[in-house]
Amino acid sequence: MTPQALLDRVRIVLCRTSHPGNIGAAARAMKVMGLSRLYLVQPLCAVDEVAAARAAGADDVLASAVVCGSLVDALAGCVQAVALSARLRDLGPAAVGVREAVPSLLRMTADGDVALVFGNETSGLANDELQRCQQAVTIPSNPDFSSLNLGAAVQVMAYELRMAAWGGLPPAPTTPATPFRSAPAAIDEVERFYAHLECVLVATGFHDPARPRRLLPKLRRLFGRAALEKDEINILRGILDSVEKPTGPRWQGGAADTEPHGK
Amino acid sequence: MTPQALLDRVRIVLCRTSHPGNIGAAARAMKVMGLSRLYLVQPLCAVDEVAAARAAGADDVLASAVVCGSLVDALAGCVQAVALSARLRDLGPAAVGVREAVPSLLRMTADGDVALVFGNETSGLANDELQRCQQAVTIPSNPDFSSLNLGAAVQVMAYELRMAAWGGLPPAPTTPATPFRSAPAAIDEVERFYAHLECVLVATGFHDPARPRRLLPKLRRLFGRAALEKDEINILRGILDSVEKPTGPRWQGGAADTEPHGK
């Protein structure tokens, strides 16, 4: 893939942005570095003349921005979502530095779109948004004043992406070839797996939604780290199906003293 | 010299700036990366409430800004001045990329102050200003749209300076601490989990040992990649227990028509 083709697969996702000027600044920051795909999740302001003024010629990026009702919609079809996070959280993925994270993110564009997810100017990303992302990155900053403007954060990220795309990506760490390997699962496939898993855990009684014990974030952390593949999603979903409707010859589950269900 | 001491010797010099918002944005961009020394050469606007609003907490940088009548004054005592230049000029020094230029610039702080010189928003640096600089640097950008906002340009430069000063490493929060993190599981704990998993999968009918379909190696590959932790082993084993002995209120599994096992 050409450097530009790598950048064409990067989505910039702004969640609940409050100030139109920041949307305009983000559009300009993107275009000046060769990015074009802007997603606005539940924007709290209009994309108005203030945004257009700050875009200063990046009107095409503003005009083609996709407005989404949820982060899940904005990430549909992506193979990786990376959260920009100024502070460490209890929940969600561990944060690494931008420069460390960008090359591997760009390599993933070989399999599909990737997304950089930015939170609201004041409140940042909500925990449930952060948990939709498989990775978090931090822009190194002054620990006593780490309040990066949203447009400036997009600028730094876009700059790092361009530098990495045109700088020649370092060779990927050699992963042993295995016949099992399949394509990475899309984010929405992974989300459907989580939903199915939750359902089954409620059904088996392991998970009580009234006393969640942070179980689901912990499971997201585990499987997020594994970076699930399509084939693995199929296996895991099949396992969940089999738990819901067991057919096994030695089934000793819900009813040890009766005939197995479905035989 | 400490990384901060290196940054303390960097002057950001803005020549003939037109928009107070850009001065404020530059101050914020500087402070967030640990820079503090702002010089304004013949500013064409006041440092007013618009500047203060965009500075968003970097008021101290604005308040201590040095207003100069000429670039020569602003560079007094510096050992090196570097011009930010979007376009190549006939006159003045040849431009190199930012990332290439910054480390040697920081090394020169051992001998005294160094300056990064930014031109007017519309006209850039005048030729006579450019010639006062010993070096020119360019921020790589989209050749079809290279119009970087002034504040954004200061942000990228300040970021590169911080990255170089700290050796490419963020200063303090390098270790992603999460309360979820637990010790790595021992190999035998992981093996017992695999054995338990296999048992349950046979019981649910998902796994047929007579037709194994390479299922278990695939699951080993998945969980091996995740590098399971002790706490995660406990969760996964608990899930398997719950599948074997469901207690859930909505359990519809092995025996929909009987009382759940173990109640």
Q: What is the ipTM for the molecules in this complex?
A: 0.75
Distance separating alpha carbons of residues A254 and B246, to the nearest angstrom: 6
Look up tokens 């998970």; give the residue. Answer: A207
Q: Is the pLDDT of residue B51 over 90?
A: yes
**pLDDT confidence band for B248 (50 / 70 / 90):** confident
Q: Give the per-residue pLDDT at B173.
A: 36
Whether the CB of A45 is below 8 Å from some CB of chain B: the reply is no
**B202 domain residue, yes or no:** yes
Q: What are the tokens at A91?
A: 């929940």
Q: Can you give the pLDDT at residue B179?
A: 62
Tell me, yes or no, whether B29 and B139 share the same domain. Answer: yes
> Contact at 8 Å (CB) between B159 and A156?
yes
Q: Is B209 on the interface with A (CB under 8 A)?
A: no
Q: Do residues A35 and A100 both lie within one domain?
A: yes
pLDDT digits over A233-254, tens only?
999 999 999 999 988 765 554 4
CATH number at residue B21: 3.40.1280.10
Give the rounded percent of residues in chain B with a pLDDT score beyond 70.
Answer: 86
A32 falls within a domain: yes
At A60 the three-state DSSP class reads: helix
Give pLDDT, residue B260.
Answer: 39
Measured between CA atoms, the residue of chain A closest to residue B233 is: A222
- Among the candidates B140, B165, B190, a domain finishes at B165
For the segment B46-62, the average pLDDT, to the nearest whole number, is 96
Flag whether B215 is in a domain. yes
Residues B151, B71 share a domain: yes
| Whole-Å CA distances, A130 to A46, A102, B43, B173 | 24, 18, 42, 18
Residue A155 to chain B, least CA–CA distance (Å): 6
Q: Does A262 reside within a domain?
A: no
CB B159 within 8 A of CB A139: yes
Q: Are residues B96 and B226 in the same domain?
A: no
Is some CB atom of chain A closer than 8 A to the CB atom of B247? Answer: yes
Whether residues B125 and B8 share a domain: the answer is yes
Share of residues in chain B with pLDDT > 90 (%): 57
Give the dihedral of Cα atoms B175, B179, B180, B182; nearest 10 deg. Answer: 70
**What's the whole-number mean pLDDT along residues B56-63?**
96
pLDDT of residue B132: 80
Last residue of a domain, one of B104, B133, B165: B165
pLDDT at A173: 57
Q: How far is B35 from chain A (nearest CA, A)?
A: 9
Secondary structure percentages of chain A, helix, strand, coil, to 5 = 45, 15, 40
Q: Do B210 and B145 have their domain in common?
A: no
pLDDT at residue B138 is higher than 60: yes
- Best residue in B18, B160, B206 for a mutation probing chain A (most A CBs within 10 Å): B206
Mean pLDDT score, B137-159: 94
Are residue B49 and residue B161 in the same domain, yes or no?
yes
The overall average pLDDT reported for chain A is: 88
| pLDDT greater than 90 at residue A157 | yes
**B166, B205, B251 ranked by CB distance to A205: nearest:** B251
Q: What is the pLDDT of residue B188?
A: 75
Q: Report the first-to-last Cα separation within chain B, whole angstroms.
A: 69
CA distance A74 to chain B (A): 25
Position A252 scores a pLDDT of 52
Q: Is there a contact between B261 and A256 if contact means CB atoms under 8 Å apart?
A: yes
**What is d(CA A63, CA B150) in angstroms, rounded to the nearest whole number?**
23
Its sign, for the CA torsion A208, A212, A214, A216, is positive
**B170/A201 Cβ within 8 A:** no
pLDDT (mean) for A188-217:
93
* CATH code (residue B182): 1.10.8.590
State the pLDDT at residue A263. 33
A213, part of any domain? yes
Residue listed under structure tokens 């193979």 = A79
Angstrom distance (rounded) from CA B184 to CA A211: 26
In this structure, chain A runs to a length of 263
Confidence class of residue A171 from pLDDT cuts 50, 70 and 90?
Answer: low
Of residues A165 and B258, the one with the higher pLDDT is A165
pLDDT at A204 (0 to 100): 94
**d(C-alpha A222, C-alpha A193), whole Å:** 13
**Domain end call among B144, B165, B186:** B165
Residues B132, B95 share a domain: yes
* Lowest pLDDT segment from B7-11, B111-115, B116-120: B111-115
Query: Do A152 and A213 share a structural domain?
Result: no
Q: What is the pLDDT of residues B72-99, one digit of tens each?
A: 899 988 888 899 976 555 555 667 889 9
Q: Considering the domain boundaries, does residue B170 fall inside one?
A: no
Residue B152 sits in the same domain as residue B24: yes
Residues A120 and A8 in one domain: yes
What is the mean pLDDT of the segment spanning A179-208? 90
Domain that holds residue A92: 3-166
Which residues on B lie below 8 Å from A178 (Cβ)?
A: 221
Tell me whether residues B222 and A232 touch, CB distance under 8 A: yes
Total structural domains in chain A?
2
The answer to whether residue B261 scores a pLDDT higher than 60 is no
CB contact under 8 A, A180 and B218: yes
CB contact set of B149 (below 8 Å; sequence gap of 6+) = A25, A28, A29, A54, A56, A151, A155, B22, B25
Q: Is residue A182 part of a domain?
A: no
Residue A55 within any structural domain of the chain:
yes
A99 contacts B163? CB cut-off 8 A: yes
What is the C-alpha to C-alpha distance for residues A36 and B173, in angstroms, rounded to an integer? 32
Please, which residues 98-137 of chain A have a Cβ atom closer than 8 Å to chain B?
99
- Same structural domain, A48 and A159: yes
pLDDT reading at B163 higher than 90: yes
Band (pLDDT 50/70/90 cuts) for residue A261 is very low
> Which pLDDT score, from 0 to 100, does residue A134 have?
85
Q: Mean of the pLDDT values across residues A34-63?
A: 97
